[in-house]
Amino acid sequence: MPAEILIPKFIHIFDEKLSDAKIYAGGFAINSNPDFFLSFCEAIFIGYFDALDEDAYKEIAMAIKDKTCPPYFSSSIDNTFYKKSNSKNIPSTAIIHKESIFKESFVIEMNRGCPFNCRFCEIPSVTNKVIYHPASDIIDIIEKKSAGIKRVVLIGTALATHPEFDSIIKTLHQKNYEISFSSLRADMLKEETISLIAKSNAHNITVSPEAGSVKIKKYINKNITTETLVNATDIAINNNIKRIKLCYIIGIPTETDDDILAIVDEVGAIIKNAKKNAKIRKWMPIINMSVNPYITKPLSANFQEQFIDKNTYEKKSKLLKKHILNMGGIQIKFLSYYEALSEVLLSKLKKEHGQLLINKDLYNLSYKKLCKLLINVLDIENTFNI
């Protein structure tokens, strides 16, 4: 769930449970819109504060105590705090709650920042330097902290760009861990990597081509060709990976019906290939498609672009759904229009909106009602047709 959607939940908890507490906040979500969070936080930590060593934490605590902590407290790469960062402090946690998406798993971060620059993504601007945590530290932390949990979830951006990706999977496999991943870039998956993923008990793989046509792939700066995608999914199927999830985006500027139909062609090429040896294999992979509208965020390159209106999103979704379902063998799921629009609108909030939102019971509102409220609060034109 995107951070913007969780904001009303955070606000609710702050308001109900922690009204007397002083809040200091940091992390990726905070860094993408620090102004807004400053409306109910004492200070915002910009940068990689969770990787600091003990001395640096003491200095921060002292600054807070002496009230010399500035509202925006930066740990940017030019700042001395960054130089003290220590990969032994890699964020990791054992999550065992049965309702968690990562239930009974040990979740650990592999990297920060991203070497790519997709037009719709904020990560390259929020974290302007790519950091890969060393394999030895990742393995060490898993062994010391996973407390008997045998399922490890590796998180990060474009995970397969980690220079020690294969070695991490190989080691975890040898140590009998089951491994899951966040989404992987199909163009970074070598045959050996996919075979290691399959051996590690991963029964599914998620790849995010985002667009079908060459024109739109180029526009969003995520140019993973159909051939690369078919090849990666083919290797996955040959390695016994039975479920493939494909993520696409619609509602991208300049997109026409032909660009939507190019998604159908691309998925069709994957299905055709998957059917090729299905009789010999005696199984067909399950293909799931997840489709989102093109979301615009303050720090991504697409910020000035118009978010799609509701009627157009529904029209495009209908066209895509009809052709995909006609092919058979694919499950397709669309993100709700109002949920996506909430994400866009919440990301626009500024410092002056914080207190107003704390007084509203956003936690219980439907996405539709939340969107209407936010359009009023932000005082923007309702071009969304809602």
Residues that bind ligand SF4 (CB under 6 A): 114, 116-118, 121, 123-124, 157-158, 185, 222
Which residue lies nearer to ligand SF4 by CB, 255 or 309? 255
Which residue lies nearer to ligand SF4 by CB, 157 or 200? 157
Which residue lies nearer to ligand SF4 by CB, 146 or 208? 208
- Per-residue burial over 326-353, b if 16 or more Cβ lie within 10 Å, else e, is eeeebebebbebbbbbbbbbbbbbeeeb
Angstrom distance (rounded) from CA 351 to CA 337: 26
Which residue lies nearer to ligand SF4 by CB, 90 or 123? 123
Angstrom distance (rounded) from CA 81 to CA 52: 7
Query: Which 3 state secondary structure label does DSSP give 253?
Result: coil
Angstrom distance (rounded) from CA 355 to CA 154: 37
In angstroms, what is the minimal distance from the CB of 208 to ligand SF4? 7
In angstroms, what is the minimal distance from the CB of 224 to ligand SF4? 10
In angstroms, what is the minimal distance from the CB of 116 to ligand SF4? 4
Which residue lies nearer to ligand SF4 by CB, 133 or 222? 222
Which residue lies nearer to ligand SF4 by CB, 119 or 173? 119
Angstrom distance (rounded) from CA 239 to CA 93: 30
In angstroms, what is the minimal distance from the CB of 159 to ligand SF4? 10
> What's the half-sphere exposure (Cβ side, CA atoms, 13 Å) at 97?
4
Cβ-contact 287, 247 below 8 angstroms:
no
β-pairing, 151-155 with 131-132? unpaired
In angstroms, what is the minimal distance from the CB of 156 to ligand SF4? 9
Which residue lies nearer to ligand SF4 by CB, 94 or 247? 247
Helices (H) and strands (E) in the chain, counts: 17, 13
Query: Which 3 state secondary structure label does DSSP give 179?
Result: strand
> What's the half-sphere exposure (Cβ side, CA atoms, 13 Å) at 99?
0
By C-alpha distance, which of 255, 190, 261, 257 is closest to 218? 255
